[in-house]
Structure 1
Amino acid sequence: MNFFDQKEPPRREARLNACIACGGTLDKLANRKMSCCLPDGERSFTQNSICLLLPALGMMNSIPNSVVLMHGAIGCGSSSHGGNAGVRSGNTHRWGVVKDASWISTALSEPDVIGGGEEKLAGAIREIDERYNPQIIFVVGSCVPGIIGDDIDGVAQQLQPEIKAHILPVHCEGFKTKIWATAYDAVYHAIGRAFLQDPAEESQAGQSERPAVNLMNVSSMGRVDEIELERLLNALGFDVNVFPVFARPDQMTAITKARLSVSTCPTHDDYLLQYLEEKYGIPYVLRHMPIGIENTGLWLRDIAAHFGKAQQAEELIAAEEQELTAALTEFRSLFAGKKAFVSAGEFRALSTAILLAELGFEVVAVRSFHHDEFADSEYEKLIRVTAKEIPLNIANCQPFEEANLLRRIKPDIFLGHMNGNATAAKSGVATHVIYNVGLQYIGYKGVYELARRLYRQLQNPVFNRKLSEWTRLPYRSKWYEQDPFSYIRQAEVE
């Protein structure tokens, strides 16, 4: 079924049988023995969560010449203030200009909730179109309009004939799903359904004769990582369309004319790539995340195989790996035997854990924010390079479980998302951010740059040790004696 015929994408719980609650060991999940794979796994106590609005805003705020209109309470979208640094740096790195994200709220009040907010939404769209003259207006439905039944699609359809900008309704009602990765589907759904339809014919004059590939980036890597992947793909003779972050609206239709679409993270991209193949006949590669030595090579081989360039790819990979192996020599003696705990979105956590094992670390625990079918092969890869019985936690940011695991495992280094390292730091563990748009992580250069940063971090880990002496976590000592997964409720495996 073509989901793009519907107003909004399905929940990932339904489409992919995804889950957010599981605890056990790596080998059980890799062999599909864990009840995480059943739909009714959940916690009897939840400390916090992630709303799908957060990653969706990271994508939408990056689009040049667009305005994000938050239809809902004033607080919805406030995270755009914190994410604006990434927008400014992204614009600077790509276009040489400092430009902020443009987002506005309808700021629904109690009378709006009672009487409906569609009239207020229509007025905001007209004002944005007149005042800012954007190419795209993202109309984002948050929880409140979803509850009271405001029809953002109906308002967009009614107003589109009089509005110069393309109006793209995006459904981000947080109460509808607990899988935050549904955000990527929501934004892709809006772009594919309301913007890529019937793309205008572009002139062939001046176009490159080299085959073009779509390189998907939903803000999971910064410009430095894009440059690394472009370097490798250019070396194989391909032109590259980076999509959707920081893609100019007037150039977006170029993706419908590419020869191949390439995912940089299967968790993010399957929804749109299947649509591009169905609608425009563009095949896709949806395996591996090019983080680490093995995964970068596998990623390049899949792309090259599609164009019959296997030999050229092998020569490139051999040259890159030879140079990288020599460059990593100075770091390996320090890394040998050091224990690492990795926490991130599923594919990033697993691919980074594999990379750490390649560098000589002992991976002692992994936490993924959710689980779905696309990461099955990554679990199998990780088992080949680490102990099968290491703790595996599927958790959408549950720091109480993390604190318990940290106390038991006592890792030397913890790699977590931005703003997600505080628990480990207060526990006295050296920390490193697993994702920052200003730092390099992807491809062969990413391996070296991450190794270099970890080397410096581990040479002087005193700061977090001192921090732990003067801070404490808000958990009783009794909690650390319990099973870290004791609050996870799972169905019985038959």
Structure 2
Amino acid sequence: MSFFELKEPPRREDRLKACIADGAALGELACRRMRCCQPDGERTFTQNSICLLLPALGTMNSIPNSVVLMHGGLGCGSSSHGGNAAVRAGNNQRWGVVKDGTWLSTGLTETDVIGGGETKLAAAIIEADRRYKPAVIFVVASCVPGIIGDDVESIAEQVRSEVQAKILPVHCEGFKTKIWATAYDAVYHAIGRTLLPAAAEKNDAEKSVHTVNLMNMSSMGRGDEVELERLLKALKLDVNVFPVFADPENMRRMTQADLSVSTCPTHDDYMLNHLQEKYGIPFIIRHMPIGIENTGKWLRDVAGFFNIGDQAEELIAAEEAELYAALEPLKPMFAGKKAFVSAGEFRALSTAILLAELGFEVAGIRAFHHDEFAVVEYEKLIRLTGKDYPLNIANCQPFEEANLLKRLKPDVFLGHLNGNGTAAKLGITTHVIYNVGLQYVGYRGAYELARRLYRQLSNPRFNRSLSRFTHLPYQESWYKENPFKYIKVAGGETDE
């Protein structure tokens, strides 16, 4: 039975045996294929985490002509305010319109928790449709309805005849999973169950030729989309970008393509399997096109499917020659510099590979979780660097990261914007590893990242000065401990 026949997607802990806790040398973890990584009960002490609602909202708010209706407490969904700048910029870059995301809340109270919030949800769906006349209403179940038993699917079905919009129930009950990458499955599940079938029936005769579905589940900004479109169009291929900022009315094109290709296997496998099972569209999910080698492998895979390998080799050779020439004056700055990388698993590993290609010494990696898709990336890193260094699987545990950074003393730290504070307070040069306004992907992305790092390493004074006046909240005794002290291993003991 397809997962899409279920009301909600399975947890990644169950579907992929994904896990969020391990720490050791890269080679050791790669050799045992993460068998000791723990999906649940992962630490005897944990500092913090992230709810899967956060990445889900980033995608849903990007869909044009949509309303995101949060069913939960008023605070659930408030992160949409912080993410709205990216929504406005993305709409402007793709559609030439500066438009905010539209999100509402049923604002469940203590009374609703006791008596149930289904009546309030039904009224809110009808009002959202009347007020905004959207093409799509995402009805998002947060923790509260999951606990009290509100049936968002039944309510959506009950009011369906009273609204014009498509109603897409999305299950983001944060307490159900610690792998917040499950958020991507939740959004894809809603789109695949409700939106794509109607579009496919309506446009079954519009089968495209030589068209690639380019998956972007918040994997890259518009500049990176343009770079991959440029490379694919150089191979005479048409491109559909899906799902961020994709017009719901045009999502039918996803069901008519010849091939789907992932830009981040962590994000895309759930939908790629569905597109193949239901619509017969084959897919490629092997590499993330960050870095010189990975971009070439990514292009060769696509070209191999269409039997245009010779054209791809000509393109790759020309692009690499131009890139290597552009990088030549920058690389002396990177020689001997140590880098630490922190991000979602595939982005962290592919960025580490790019840093090694630029001449950095990779000193350590922190990945937010681990699943089967990254095994090949670990093997690439070991082959490319020929060294062992710490790998930390951690869903936002800054105390472990601080310990590692104190030991490793990297020259530069690449992490997400809200995760660079620990390194910055230690005086380490920091650079954001993902920002929708910057380029990271493809050959241009490799050059742009190198150029930005060159500028920052040329003048690292800001974070060095910052470290003189700010301090981390950990005792000196912690830095002498094993950074992975509180991680449980397969036998149930801590990793001391």
Per the normalisation by structure 1, the TM-score is 0.98
Superposed CA offset, 1:314-371 (max 9, x none): 1100000000000000111110110000000000000000000000000000000000
Q: Secondary structure at the match of 2:476?
A: coil
Match of 1:307 in 2: 306
> Structure 1 pair 201/167, CA: closer, same or farther in 2 (3 Å)?
closer
User: How far does the alpha carbon of each residue in 1:402-456 deviate from its partner, in whole angstroms, 9 at most, with x for none?
Assistant: 1000100000000001211000000000000000000000000000000000000
- Residue 486 of structure 1 is matched in structure 2 by 485
Q: How far is 1:243 from its partner?
A: 0.2
8 Å contact 1:17–1:37 — kept in the other structure?
A: no
**Equivalent residue runs for 1:22-61 within 5 Å:** 22-32=22-32, 34-40=34-40, 42-61=42-61
Alignment of 1:12-161 (within 5 A): 12-32=12-32, 34-40=34-40, 42-161=42-161
Q: How far does the alpha carbon of each residue in 1:267-292 deviate from its partner, in whole angstroms, 9 at most, with x for none?
A: 00000000000000000001100000
CA contact (8 A) 2:38 2:488 kept: no
Could you tell me which residue of structure 1 aligns to residue 385 of structure 2?
386
Q: Name the CA distance, whole Å, in 2 between partners of 1:321 and 1:476.
A: 48
Q: Deviations over 1:20-49 (max 9, x none)?
A: 011111011211264444545601111110
Give deviations 1:366-406, integer Å, cap 9, x for gaps.
Answer: 00000000000000001112244200000011110010001
Q: Which residue of 2 aligns with 1:450?
A: 449
| CA distance in 2 between partners of 1:50 and 1:437 (Å) | 20
Residue matched to 1:401: 400
On the 8 A contact 1:22/1:41 being kept in 2, the answer is no
Match of 1:237 in 2: 236
**Residue 464 of structure 2 corresponds to which residue in structure 1?**
465
Structure 2 Cα separation of the partners of residues 387 and 486 of structure 1: 27
**Alignment partners' CA distance in 2, 1:252 and 1:311:** 32
1:459-479 C-alpha deviation (Å, 9 max, x unpaired): 000110110011100000110
**CA 1:493–1:232: 2 relative to 1, 3 Å:** farther
3-state secondary structure, aligned to 1:431: strand
Structure 2 residue identity aligned to 1:327: A
CA distance in 1, matches of 2:393, 2:131: 45
What residue ranges of structure 2 are gaps of 5+ in the alignment?
A: none
Indicate the SS of the match to 1:49: coil
SS of 1:47's equivalent in the other structure is: coil
What is the DSSP-based 3-state SS (H/G/I as helix, E as strand, rest coil) of the residue aligned with 2:417?
Answer: coil
Is the 1:341–1:366 contact (alpha carbons within 8 Å) kept by the matching residues of 2?
yes
The one-letter code sitting in structure 2 at the alignment partner of 1:132 is Y
Decide whether aligned partners of structure 1 residues 445 and 33 sit closer, same or farther in structure 2, where only a CA change above 3 A counts. closer
Question: 1: CA distance between counterparts of 2:33 and 2:97?
Answer: 51
Give the equivalent residue in structure 2 for 1:267. Answer: 266
Give yes or no for contact 2:382–2:388 (8 Å, CA) kept in 1.
no
Is 1:430 the counterpart of 2:432? The answer is no
Do structure 1's residue 4 and structure 2's residue 4 form an aligned pair? yes
Partner of 2:363: 364
Deviations 1:151-180 (A, max 9, x none): 000000111122100000000000000001
Distance in 1 of aligned mates of 2:258 and 2:140: 32
Structural RMSD (CA): 1.5
Counterpart residue type for residue 56 of structure 2:
A
Aligned partners of 1:204, 1:439: CA distance in 2, in Å? Answer: 38
Q: Percent identity?
A: 72
Amino acid at match of 1:139: V
Q: What CA distance in whole angstroms lies between the structure 2 residues aligned with 1:424 and 1:135?
A: 43
1:336-351 matches, cutoff 5 A:
336-351=335-350
Change (3 A) 1:201 1:120: closer
Secondary structure of the residue aligned to 1:237 is coil
CA contact (8 A) 2:429 2:460 kept: yes
Q: For the residues of structure 1 that align with 2:291 and 2:41, how far apart are their CA atoms?
A: 32
- Tell me if the contact between 2:211 and 2:239 (Cα under 8 Å) persists in the aligned partners: yes
- Distance across 2 between alignment mates of 1:141 and 1:210: 38
Does the 8 Å contact 1:34/1:493 carry over to 2?
Answer: no
Structure 1 residue 200 displacement after superposition: 3.9
Write out per-residue CA displacement over residues 167-194 of structure 1, whole angstroms, 9 at most, x where no aligned residue. Answer: 0000000000000100000000000001
Contact 1:364–1:409 under 8 Å retained in 2? yes
Corresponding residue SS for 2:23: strand
Distance in 1, matches of 2:431 and 2:96, equals 29
Please list the CA deviations of residues 59-78 of structure 1 after superposition, one character each: whole Å capped at 9, or x if unmatched.
Answer: 00000000000000000000
8 A Cα contact 2:209 2:257, kept in partner:
no
Give the number of equivalent residue pairs. Answer: 492
Could you say what secondary structure the match of 1:488 adopts? coil
Report if the CA contact (8 A) 1:328-1:451 is conserved. yes
User: Structure 1 CA distance, aligned partners of 2:37 and 2:472?
Assistant: 31
How far does residue 491 in structure 1 lie from its aligned partner after superposition?
Answer: 1.5
DSSP 3-state at the match of 1:139: strand
Per-residue deviation at 1:201?
3.7
Alpha-carbon contact 2:88-2:98 (below 8 Å) kept: yes
Counterpart of 1:52, as a letter, is L
Q: Match for 1:305: what amino acid?
A: G
Query: Residue 348 of structure 1 aligns to which amino acid in structure 2?
Result: R
Specify every segment of 5 or more residues in structure 1 that has no aligned partner in the other structure, as ranges: none
The 1-side partners of 2:153 and 2:248 are apart by 20
Residue 41 and residue 175 in structure 1: after superposition, are their counterparts in 2 closer, same or farther (change >3 A)? closer
